[in-house]
Chain A
Amino acid sequence: MDLKLGHYNKDGIEVVDVEGEIDVYTAPRLRELLIDLVNKKNYQLVVNMEKVEFLDSTGLGVLVGGLKRVRAHDGSLDLVCTQERILKIFRITGLTKVFGIHNSVDEAIAERKAEK
């Protein structure tokens, strides 16, 4: 399956819905979306990965790039992911310590709001 992207604002946080496969072919589209959102001054991001079927290191690089970009504006990039097959690559690379990984979009937003 190809990559489907969407985004909406909830409680002042931009939620990015990602569906499909994030790899060397599709990751540039996600990168462009994250860059576009940050350029439009969206610095609080939640990337919902519940419908992601595949993620490789290219996709991880895009997420890390997005995180660095929002942090430059004192922002945040949290992830929503409960799929073991996707979480595994975050564990292998140690990125579970870098990203906030949540069980739902509502949980990610609530925790982000609580930290403010």
Chain B
Amino acid sequence: MATVEVSFTPLPAHVRTARLVATAVARRSGVDESLLDEVRLAVGEACSRAVEAHRQYCPAEPIRVALTDDGERFEVVVTDSAPADVPIAPEMGGAPHVVDGVVQQLPAGVGLAVIAGLADDVRILPVSDGTSIAMSWKRRSL
């Protein structure tokens, strides 16, 4: 059961808000203090990716973040509504942002690689109208 759900318009400024909410809920759910920075960074990466996708394809649609505590694991699911079968943002293989001939963003997939390096478990799932990134961490024993 989701303990907290957040939706926000796809603006870069709101990614920080999503990070803060995720960190606060993770702390309250009993995620170890040493993992909170990882939760914050992973959720930020997933939300940044979703914002880039929405800004390109569906800027009017909100991005959804669900934070769930099932007693053993803390899970965050970030769901976008952008087409899942086409390149969207640079993170997903689209054209990189180039200024004066210099590539300004990292190669495709770095954001997802960072998430995979931070979360205990990551699942990237196509949903009916977009993509979900589900990340989870073990709770500490209470």
Contact = CB atoms under 8 A, between A and B. Distances in A.
Contacts of A19: none
B100 A60 contact: no
B117 interface: yes
A114 interface: no
Contacts of A17: none
A6 interface: no
Interface in B36-70: 37, 40-41, 44-45, 48, 51-52
Chain B interface mostly helix, strand, loop or mixed? Answer: helix
B110 A25 contact: no
A74 B89 CA distance: 31
B98 to A, nearest CB: 9
Given A23-B44, A24-B48, A57 B111 contact: yes
B16 A21 contact: yes
Given A54-B40, A57-B45, A60-B106, A25 B113 contact: no
A61 interface: yes
A89 B100 CA distance: 27
B100 A57 contact: no
A69 B100 CA distance: 9
27 contacts: A23-B12, A23-B15, A23-B16, A23-B48, A24-B15, A25-B15, A35-B100, A54-B19, A54-B41, A56-B114, A57-B45, A57-B91, A57-B111, A57-B114, A60-B110, A61-B104, A61-B106, A61-B110, A64-B106, A65-B102, A65-B104, A69-B102, A85-B37, A92-B114, A92-B117, A92-B118, A93-B106
Interface of A: 21, 23-25, 31, 35, 54, 56-58, 60-62, 64-65, 68-69, 72, 85, 88-89, 92-93
Given A56-B41, A56-B114, A62-B104, 18 more contacts: A23-B48, A24-B15, A35-B99, A35-B100, A54-B44, A56-B44, A56-B48, A56-B111, A57-B45, A57-B48, A57-B110, A58-B105, A61-B104, A61-B105, A64-B106, A89-B41, A93-B110, A93-B114
